[in-house]
Chain A
Amino acid sequence: MEQLYQLLHGWFANAPDAVLRTVAIVVPILLIITVFPGVFAYITLIERKALGRIQNRIGPNRVGPWGILQPIADGLKLLTKEDIVPRRADKFVHFLAPVIAVVPAIVLFAVLPVGPGLVPVDLPIGILFAFAVSTASVLALFMGGWASRNKFSLLGAMRAVAQVVSYEVPMVLAAVAVVMAAGTLSTVGIMHKQAGGFLNIAHWYIFQPWGFVGFVLFVIGAMAESARTPFDIPEAESEIIAGYHTEYSGFKFALFQMGEYLASMAMAGITVTMFLGGYNGPGVGWKYIGPLIGVGYFFAKLLSIIFVIIWIRGTWPRIRVDQLMAFAWKVLLPMSILNIVAVAIAHYMESKFWAWIVTAVLLFVAAVILSKIGSPQNVERRTYRYAA
């Protein structure tokens, strides 16, 4: 934003200052609210295609060649659907919930450095801001579930709140490790710390033992926070219909979906920034085309994380409620705290090589022990009565 203002100031030196400032504020906002929902629309297509392939189907292929116009058809269909509000619902809160589902998800993109110099706002507390904003999304789930006056919705909302609150703790602690290593809370600063080295790749935090553990913890937390399978018990359709958005139809339903997808995209973007070096990669420093390559890297990394999330959704069953909670508190939380200790060890050890080895061994042993402790005990072998 600031850089855009400087640039505009250079080009139109005699234009009034207020106009330039307004343009410099409005342009990034317009970019965010056009580009990311566009990407969202096509991620739904990718997801349907990929899930189709995983389930041995073809997926949408009727609208346009290879089904590429499917998102537009979906949007139009949802727009023309009747908007049903239950008679005893709390009308105002029911209306407000889908809006609140989308707003924090979009605000999250404000601190993401997409390419060299392409960050809407470089806040000195960027990461903290992102977590603060992302916690607001749980309100939408609660409001939607509560306002619907439906038992299933309320159950979904309760599950959603419990899940999001539990998984936020290890997720934030995983980010604390990165903040400690980088020594800054700014997203741009964290990303710059991972620049350089072999092919501009070697310094990514994911190649450190604690970085890898943090990456795994963070992606699990992000998936749980945006209620994606296998953490989709808030909207488990076989148990509680559709959870908090059972009573939503038409475009309000679409807004809930959009909020969920935008939140997972933003979380994937923050993961890329914190662990995968942001837009860093070979060739970013080149003249003229370097920034373009950087933007390409960013979106390639973001989409690959999204793809892994889709992949997991397609192949894993849903986790049970008690398993879900036990996993968050008994495995992820101790692991994330140990991860912070590992960062401190790595920071204070003289030799980087030995620090790598020591933290890797420590974290590996901890992971093995914790997964033994955290897994359910006394589980009898399942016997099938009718199947072979």
Chain B
Amino acid sequence: MNAAFWILAVITLMGALLAISLRNLVHCVLSLILFFLGVAGNYFLLRADFLGAVQILIYIGAVAVLILFAIMLTRNVTGTEGPRDMFGLGWWAGLITAALVAVAVWITLRSAPEAGVTSAGQAVGSVEAIGRELLTQWVVPLEVLGVLLTAALIGAVVIALEEVRRRR
């Protein structure tokens, strides 16, 4: 268990580091996929099978593929020119983001129940439990999210239609 965690942790961190430090955008996305895989592996390790599978399905199958598709349609993905701004002025933004993430992690850790992952893990992370929670306690946020995503989808179609009409 422990060895698996360390291997996954190294893979995850390596993917994340490569994703922000490589120059070629496609390489960045591929390392990002490695990172997603590492996170999914961690979910599996925590016995949240459903979350792990969904992580792969959505983040690798949809999000990463969408990013790749967008990159494929852009020129100059190698990005050898231009300043390397990673340790330049942008570090303020990085610092603020890091602080925000740290606060978020801290709040989550404080509000989380005492490490009950292994004992009740299967029950908490199972599909039935998640489905029941989503359709009882969290049904309003779920529906609101659904409406929001539908609106976004229709908006995207409208924008695309406009372009088609202009071209004709």
B68 within 8 A of partner (CB): yes
Inter-subunit contact B26/A93 (CB<8 Å): yes
By a CB distance below 8 angstroms, the chain B residues around A251 are none
Which of A16-24, A59-67, A153-161, A260-268 makes up part of the contact surface? A153-161
Residues of A within 8 A of B57 (CB): 128, 131-132, 135
A residues near B68, Cβ cutoff 8 Å: 139, 142, 146, 161
- Verify B56–A132 contact, CB threshold 8 A: yes
List B residues 16-52 near A (Cβ within 8 Å).
24, 26-27, 30, 33, 49-50
- Place the interface of chain A in its size category: 20 to 34
Taking CB atoms, residues of chain B closer than 8 Å to A303 are none
Tell me whether A125 is interfacial, beta carbon within 8 Å.
Answer: yes
B127→A125 contact, CB < 8 A: yes
Contact indicator A146/B65 (Cβ below 8 Å)? no
Say yes or no: is A176 at the interface (Cβ < 8 Å to chain B): no
B72 at the A interface (CB under 8 A): yes
- A132: chain B residues at CB < 8 Å are 53-54, 56-57, 60-61
Cα distance, A154 to B68, chains bound together (Å)? 12
| Interface presence of A168 (CB below 8 A) | yes
Whether B69 sits at the interface, judged by CB under 8 Å, is: yes
Within 85-131 of A, Cβ neighbours of B (below 8 Å) are at 90, 93, 123-125, 128-129, 131
The CA-CA distance from A136 to B62 in the complex, in Å, is 10
Q: Check if B97 is an interface residue, CB within 8 A of chain A.
A: no
B136 to chain A, nearest CB (A): 18
State whether the Cβ of A165 lies closer than 8 Å to any Cβ in chain B: yes
Check A93 against B30 for contact (C-beta < 8 Å). Answer: yes
Other-chain contact of B65, A128, A131, A142, A154 (Cβ < 8 Å) = A142
Q: Among B27, B33, B53, B72, point to the contact of A139 (Cβ < 8 A).
A: B33
Separation of A60 and B53 alpha carbons in the complex (Å): 42
Interface size class of B (residues with CB under 8 A): 20 to 34
The answer to whether A124 and B49 touch across the interface, beta carbons within 8 angstroms, is: yes
Q: How far is the CA of A124 from the CA of B61 in the complex (A)?
A: 21
Taken residue by residue from 161 to 182, chain A's Cβ proximity to chain B (1 for < 8 Å, 0 otherwise) reads as 1100100100000000000000
Whether A123 and B56, one on each chain, are in contact in the complex, defined by CB atoms closer than 8 angstroms, is no
A136 touches B61 (CB 8 A): yes
Residue of A nearest to B33 (CB): A139
Chain A residues whose CB sits within 8 angstroms of the CB of B61 once the complex forms: 131-132, 135-136, 138, 168
For the complex formed, measure the closest distance between the CB of B164 and the CB atoms of chain A, giving whole angstroms. 13
List CB contacts (< 8 Å) of A130-152 with chain B. Answer: 131-133, 135-136, 138-139, 142-143, 146
- Say whether A185 faces chain B, with CB atoms less than 8 Å apart: yes
**CB atoms of A125 and B30 under 8 A apart:** no
Max count, chain A CB within 10 A of own CB: residue among B27, B56, B61, B69: B61
B150 touches A (CB below 8 Å): no
- Given A139-B60, A157-B72, do A124 and B65 touch, yes or no (CB 8 Å)? no
B38 to chain A, nearest CB (A): 14
Known: A124-B126, A133-B56, A136-B56. A93 touches B50 (CB 8 A): no
Q: Give 5 CB contacts A-B under 8 Å.
A: A125-B49, A143-B30, A146-B72, A161-B69, A185-B127
**Interface contacts beyond A124-B127, A146-B72, A158-B72: sample of 5 additional A-B pairs, CB < 8 Å, sorted by A:** A125-B49, A132-B60, A132-B61, A139-B33, A161-B69
